[in-house]
Structure 1
Amino acid sequence: MSTDYQQARETLGHRLRELRFSHPAGRLTGSQLSQLLGWSPAKVSKLENGRQTATPEDLRAWAEATGQPQAYDELRARLAGFESHIRSWRRQLSSGHRAAQEAHNTAQADATELCAWESSWIVGILQTPDYARSIFTRFSELHRSPRDVEEAVRARIKRQELLYTGERQYRIILWEAVLRALVCSPSVLAAQLDRLSGVIGMDTVELGIVPFGASLKLPPGSGFWIYDDRQVVTETWHSELWLEDADTIATYTRAWATLQESALYGSDAQNVINSARRSLSAQ
């Protein structure tokens, strides 16, 4: 968990403690507040000390129990402020994957130049429905999230309409590993590679492939997107990070430019894709 995120959570906890101390009828103890809320004393302590992230429902209940319901809007704004940077998959996927996909659709629609590096799987904007279906199925199992796979697939595929408006430039770099990773059946991967081959030459997409044999100035690392030099989106197994501070964006921009130095384009990229496709046919 990032230091900035933890500091923001602790700051919210301090504000919650202030509300407990300033109850109109007099200062409440932690035990008194936990009884009013029907919570364990441990939950009150964790929230005040920044060891647990409050939900919007927790904040509303806290504001009302401390006799200051008008404070809810302020508390919710504080929560939204730091959750906009680190969005846990548990929270994002509580109702399934579709909502998270629609958030990405909106973010990409608001950008004009989008740079991506991916070392694990084909980026969503270039996925076939069957490939996307395989990815969502596997992540639903990992996160034990509601199975809205078909709704998520439709939302992700709808994003691909952005490729054809002529209003955006996608600059995407893939590591060769993503062309060969059997995160789906061989037949689905074969169709996905055919889809990639068709993307090369599009005027809205600049697709680069970093082959296994390339000299790398940086380890492949995790995948990420850069939107108009104003926002970076990357993810871990437990959360997704939406980052907006200038220094962080500059670091990711340098990383992308460094990885691009090892990428092949045009017919050379096509040859790498074709090689991966032939290896599937030989299996």
Structure 2
Amino acid sequence: MSTDYQQAREALGARLRELRLSAHERRLTGGELGEQCGWNKSKVSRLENGKQTPTPDDLRKWAQATGRPEAYGELLARLRGFESHIRSWRRQLASGHRPVQDTHLNAHTDASVFRGWESSMVFGILQTPDYARAIFTRYAELQRSPRDTEQAVLSRTKRQETLYDSSKRFHLLLWEAALHALICPPSVLAAQLDRLAGTVGLETVELGIVPLSAPLRIPPATAFWIYDDRQLIVENWHAELWIDDEASVDVHLRAWKTLCQSAVYGVDAQNLITAARRTLRS
């Protein structure tokens, strides 16, 4: 968890403690506030000490219990402020994958130039429905989230319409390892590779593949997207990070440009896809 995120969570906890200690009728103990909200005392302590991220409903109950319902708007704004940077999968996937895909669909609608790096699987915007179905199923198992696979696939497929929007440009880099990752049945991967080969040459897409044999100036680390060179999205196992500070965007732009130096394009990229497809047949 980032220092900035934790500091923001602790600051919110301090504000919650302040409200509890200055409640309208009288100062509330942690036990009394917890009883009013239907929680145990330990939850009150975790929230106040920045050990647990409150939900909007937690904040509403806290404001009401302390006799300060008008403070809910302020508390919610604080929560939204740091959640806009780090969005845990546990919280995002509470209702399944579809809402997350819809969020990305809206972001793709608003941006024009996309740069992406992916080292372990085919980009979502280039996935076939069967490949996407396999990905969502695996992640639902990992995160123990609700299964809304078909709705998520539909949303991801809808996002692919932007590939045919002449006002947009996709500059995508893929590590060759992703062409061989059997996260799905071989027949599904074969169809996915055929689909990937078909994107080479699209007017809106520049697809580069970094060969496994290519010399690398930096390690092929975490996947990321950059929208319009100003919004950065990074995924890891516990959360999705939406970052817009200039320094973070710049370092990822430099990483992307450095990886570009190891990539091949056009016919050479097609040859790598064809070779991976041939491996599946054998």
Q: Which moved more, 1:62-71 or 1:19-28?
A: 19-28
CA distance in 1, matches of 2:229, 2:85: 16
TM-score (norm 2): 0.99
Name the amino acid aligned to 1:10: E
Alpha-carbon RMSD across the aligned residues, in angstroms, is 0.7
1:226 aligns with 226
Structure 2: gaps (5+ residues)? none
Q: Secondary structure at the match of 1:241?
A: strand
Structure 1: gaps (5+ residues)? none
1:208 aligns with 208
Q: Secondary structure at the match of 1:269?
A: helix
1:154 aligns with 154
How far does residue 201 in structure 1 lie from its aligned partner after superposition?
Answer: 0.6
How far does residue 167 in structure 1 lie from its aligned partner after superposition?
Answer: 1.5
CA distance in 2, matches of 1:272, 1:29: 65
CA distance in 1, matches of 2:238, 2:204: 32
Deviation string, structure 1 residues 44-67 (Cα, Å, up to 9, x no partner): 011011010000010000000000
TM-score (norm 1): 0.98
Give the 5 Å matches for 1:1-283. 1-282=1-282
Q: Secondary structure at the match of 1:276?
A: helix
How far does residue 82 in structure 1 lie from its aligned partner after superposition?
Answer: 0.5
CA distance in 2, matches of 1:221, 1:119: 7
CA distance in 2, matches of 1:74, 1:257: 41
Deviation string, structure 1 residues 81-127 (Cα, Å, up to 9, x no partner): 10111111111111110000000111111111000000011011000
How far does residue 193 in structure 1 lie from its aligned partner after superposition?
Answer: 0.5
Q: Which moved more, 1:33-42 or 1:146-155?
A: 33-42
How far does residue 38 in structure 1 lie from its aligned partner after superposition?
Answer: 2.0
How far does residue 230 in structure 1 lie from its aligned partner after superposition?
Answer: 1.1
Deviation string, structure 1 residues 150-170 (Cα, Å, up to 9, x no partner): 000000000000011111100
Name the amino acid aligned to 1:240: E
Deviation string, structure 1 residues 217-268 (Cα, Å, up to 9, x no partner): 0111010000011111011111111111111001111110101110000001
Q: Secondary structure at the match of 2:57?
A: helix
Deviation string, structure 1 residues 187-224 (Cα, Å, up to 9, x no partner): 11011111111101111000000000000001110100
Deviation string, structure 1 residues 8-67 (Cα, Å, up to 9, x no partner): 000100110111112111221222212222211111011011010000010000000000
CA distance in 1, matches of 2:34, 2:201: 62
CA distance in 1, matches of 2:34, 2:273: 59
